[in-house]
């Protein structure tokens, strides 16, 4: 595993932990933002292992779909979660208020953990 990949995976773990912490404090919009970035770091790490680098979020989203989902290396649910959480992050980061519900945010955090585990397993197998 490349050094940058390992650093991004560790950063993803910290982002998930941060999401859990701020979620417990009731800051659900900030939790969603941290969860999205965890997923973004995971996708970026995986793409970097294939020497694929992108400067925009949409590039990461599309490349992950092309190089990991369409190849069957990852379940399509991870792509859906990445894109859906991106939209939720936009709402949380840029909206004056948000209507996130604790149970929904807990589910999003669980999805990020699932994605992290799947990515770790993939990277170990390579």
- pLDDT tens readout for residues 12-28: 999 999 999 999 999 99
Q: What residue has token string 């969860």?
A: 35
Distance (Å) of CA 121 to CA 1, 14, 81: 12, 18, 18
Nearest in space to 92 (alpha carbons), one of 35, 33, 34, 38: 33
Distance CA 69, CA 102 (A): 29
Minimal CA–CA distance to 41: which of 73, 74, 7, 65? 7
% residues pLDDT > 70 (the chain) = 100
Identify the structural domains of the chain with CATH numbers, from first to last: 3-125 (1.20.120.330)
Cβ atoms 39, 82 nearer than 8 A: yes
pTM: 0.96
Q: What is the pLDDT of residues 95-126, one digit of tens each?
A: 888 889 999 999 999 999 999 999 999 999 98
């Amino acid at each position: 595993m490349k050094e940058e990949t390992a650093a991004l995976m560790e950063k993803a773990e910290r982002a998930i932990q941060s999401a859990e912490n701020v979620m417990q404090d009731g800051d659900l919009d900030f939790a969603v933002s941290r969860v999205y970035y965890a997923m973004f770091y995971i996708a970026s790490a995986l793409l970097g292992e294939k020497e694929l680098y992108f400067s925009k979020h949409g590039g990461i989203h599309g490349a992950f779909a092309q190089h990991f989902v369409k190849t069957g290396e990852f379940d399509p649910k991870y792509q859906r979660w990445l894109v859906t959480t991106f939209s939720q992050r936009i709402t949380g980061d840029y909206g004056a208020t948000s209507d996130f519900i604790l149970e929904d945010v807990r589910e999003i955090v669980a999805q990020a953990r699932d994605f992290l585990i799947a990515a770790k397993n993939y990277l170990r197998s390579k």
